[in-house]
């Protein structure tokens, strides 16, 4: 094993805060994680690998599940006090550098680790090779690119919370953390050679004082940037109240937050998330639920094309960046507006784009039968329904964006 273990800088050192962070993550996430792991069929006799043991709760659950004839190897780059459970072994291990046995495990589970590693794709390949033939790789990750506050006391508090998110994003980016990794993991798993890959999204509300958003005293002095991730709301998480930090702190450290496509956004005419948080939250949930059964890149192509037609600069910046972050090719984005004359788009993508254009530019005859029939030829009922809702949702967002953010 490598004795010079490295730690992603955003996590801090092996101190009381780090241990408390793992304890709270366990309280917030273990029920969902273990429910998903139970769905893999893990049971007696399985040999399991838990990468990034955290507080040891998931590893202990697995050990009880595979008893009496199975075993669990839990690894971390820092010492972790493991619960005393038969069949559970802990190893100090750097998943990037240290040796990892191949074709050894029936189940490999990793939660909130790959997003922290610049070498995440190489590590994913190692985890795939560690599986026995027919083994299962389970990845639990956040997509933390958006975590809106659904209920805030006033617009100033909303601005403060957005400043915190901007600062967190800059800290994570500087530490080579991929905050959108949760939306990319399934695609990366397919590219790594896995079959039967499925993605399941989960959204929940985190209220102030819950494990996801624990109370913290206001700092008396400058806060080391690496600590700010402790209040990060995760994939689809909804923070019911913003963190109560002194207003000048994060603004002074990082300045105003960037707009989705770079530069500063025009001030909105009305702060909809602050004055109508219930509706904003419902729309955000609709948007994510609508595309749950679609390829993420296809969903972004549709959103970009609809935004081009409607002329929503805000949504164009937002979804162009999201597409590039998800691995989309710049040349395809350049040719998207003239996709009919391009050879870069698949038949399914062309059918989806034609449907998006027809639904967006509704004429007296509505959506032609041949357009809908073409889409149905490439999409089963459930993905087709999600495609329809995705097109409807981005049209709604376009109209809000154009109305609320006036041209500069």
Angle at 207 between CA 203 and CA 212, to 5 degrees: 70
| Number of Cα atoms under 13 Å in the Cβ half of residue 299 | 25
Q: Which of 62-66, 231-235, 290-294, 385-389 has the lowest mean pLDDT?
A: 231-235
pLDDT of 315: 87
Q: Work out the number of other CB atoms within 10 angstroms of the CB of residue 362.
A: 10
How many domains, in total, are found in the chain?
A: 2
User: Is the residue at 79 inside a domain?
Assistant: yes
- Domain-terminating residue out of 140, 165, 196: 140
| 3-class secondary structure per residue, 282-327 | HHHHHHHHHCCCCCHHHHHHHHHHHHHHHCCHHHHHHHHHHHHHCC
Answer with the residue of higher pLDDT: 362 or 188. Answer: 188
Answer with the residue of higher pLDDT: 90 or 154. Answer: 90
pLDDT of 258: 34
The enclosing domain of 285 has a CATH number of 1.20.1290.10
Domain that residue 85 falls in: 9-140
Which pairing describes strands 131-140 and 105-111: parallel, antiparallel, or unpaired? parallel
pLDDT in tens, 201-247: 777 677 766 666 765 544 433 333 332 332 222 333 333 333 333 32
Round to whole Å and give the CA distance between 395 and 286.
13
If DSSP codes are grouped into helix, strand and coil, which group holds residue 276? coil
User: Is the residue at 300 inside a domain?
Assistant: yes
**Cis peptide, bond prior to residue 383, ω within 30 of zero:** no
Dihedral (Cα; 109, 115, 116, 120), 10-degree rounding: 80
The enclosing domain of 49 has a CATH number of 3.40.50.150
Answer with the residue of higher pLDDT: 225 or 21. Answer: 21
Residue entry with tokens 């038949």? 347
Average pLDDT over residues 12-28: 73
In degrees and rounded to multiples of 5, residue 73 shows phi and psi of -105, 115
User: Is the residue at 158 inside a domain?
Assistant: no
pLDDT of 262: 38
Sheet with strand 71-76: strands edge to edge:
88-92, 71-76, 47-51, 105-111, 131-140
- Domain-terminating residue out of 106, 140, 174: 140
User: Is the residue at 84 inside a domain?
Assistant: yes
393 band by pLDDT with thresholds 50, 70 and 90: very high
pLDDT of 229: 30
User: Is the residue at 202 inside a domain?
Assistant: no
pLDDT of 217: 46
User: Is the residue at 217 inside a domain?
Assistant: no
- Domain-terminating residue out of 140, 175, 202: 140
Name which of 185, 374, 393, 380 is nearest 299 in CA terms.
393
Positive/negative CA dihedral, 310, 314, 315, 321: positive
Q: Which of 46-50, 216-220, 266-270, 401-405 has the lowest mean pLDDT?
A: 216-220
The reported pTM is 0.54
User: Is the residue at 136 inside a domain?
Assistant: yes
H helices then E strands: how many in the chain? 14, 7
pLDDT of 276: 85
pLDDT of 222: 39
Q: Which of 37-41, 59-63, 207-211 has the lowest mean pLDDT?
A: 207-211
pLDDT of 231: 28
Round to whole Å and give the CA distance between 372 and 44.
49
In the DSSP assignment, the letter for residue 181 is H
pLDDT of 215: 56
User: Is the residue at 263 inside a domain?
Assistant: no
| Number of Cα atoms under 13 Å in the Cβ half of residue 171 | 23
């Amino acid at each position: 094993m490598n004795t010079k273990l490295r730690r992603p800088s955003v996590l801090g050192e092996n101190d009381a805060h780090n241990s408390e962070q793992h304890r709270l993550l366990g309280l917030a996430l273990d029920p969902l994680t273990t429910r998903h792991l139970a769905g893999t069929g893990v049971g007696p006799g399985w040999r399991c690998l838990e990468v990034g043991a955290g507080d040891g709760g998931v590893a202990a659950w697995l050990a009880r599940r595979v008893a009496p004839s199975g075993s669990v190897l839990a690894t971390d780059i820092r010492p972790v006090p493991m619960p005393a459970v038969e069949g559970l072994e802990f190893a100090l291990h750097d998943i990037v550098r240290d040796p990892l046995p191949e074709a050894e495990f029936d189940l490999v589970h990793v939660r909130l680790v790959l997003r922290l590693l610049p070498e995440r794709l190489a590590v994913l390949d190692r985890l795939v090779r560690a599986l026995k033939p027919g083994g299962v790789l389970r990845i639990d990750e956040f997509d933390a690119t958006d975590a809106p506050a659904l209920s805030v006391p006033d617009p100033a508090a909303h601005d403060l919370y957005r400043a915190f998110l901007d600062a967190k994003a800059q800290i994570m980016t500087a530490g080579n953390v991929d905050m959108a990794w949760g939306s990319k993991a399934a695609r990366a798993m397919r590219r790594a050679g896995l079959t039967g890959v499925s993605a399941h999204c989960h959204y929940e509300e985190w209220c102030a004082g819950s494990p996801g958003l624990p109370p913290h005293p206001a700092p008396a002095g400058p806060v080391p940037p690496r600590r700010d991730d402790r209040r990060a709301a995760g994939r689809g998480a909804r923070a019911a109240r913003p963190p109560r930090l002194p207003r000048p702190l994060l603004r002074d450290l990082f300045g105003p937050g960037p707009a989705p496509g770079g530069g500063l956004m025009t001030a909105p005419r009305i702060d909809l998330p602050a004055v109508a948080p219930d509706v904003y939250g419902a729309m955000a949930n609709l948007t994510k639920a609508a595309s749950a059964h679609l390829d993420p890149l296809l969903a972004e192509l549709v959103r970009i094309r609809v935004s081009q037609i409607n002329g929503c600069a805000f949504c164009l910046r937002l979804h162009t960046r999201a597409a590039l972050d998800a691995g989309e090719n710049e040349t395809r984005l350049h040719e998207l507006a003239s996709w009919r004359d391009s050879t870069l788009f698949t038949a399914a993508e062309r059918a989806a784009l034609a449907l998006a254009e027809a639904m967006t530019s509704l004429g007296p005859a509505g959506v032609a039968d041949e357009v809908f029939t073409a889409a149905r030829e490439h999409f089963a009922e459930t993905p087709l329904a999600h495609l329809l809702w995705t097109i409807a949702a981005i049209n709604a967002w376009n109209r809000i964006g154009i109305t609320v953010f006036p041209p500069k």
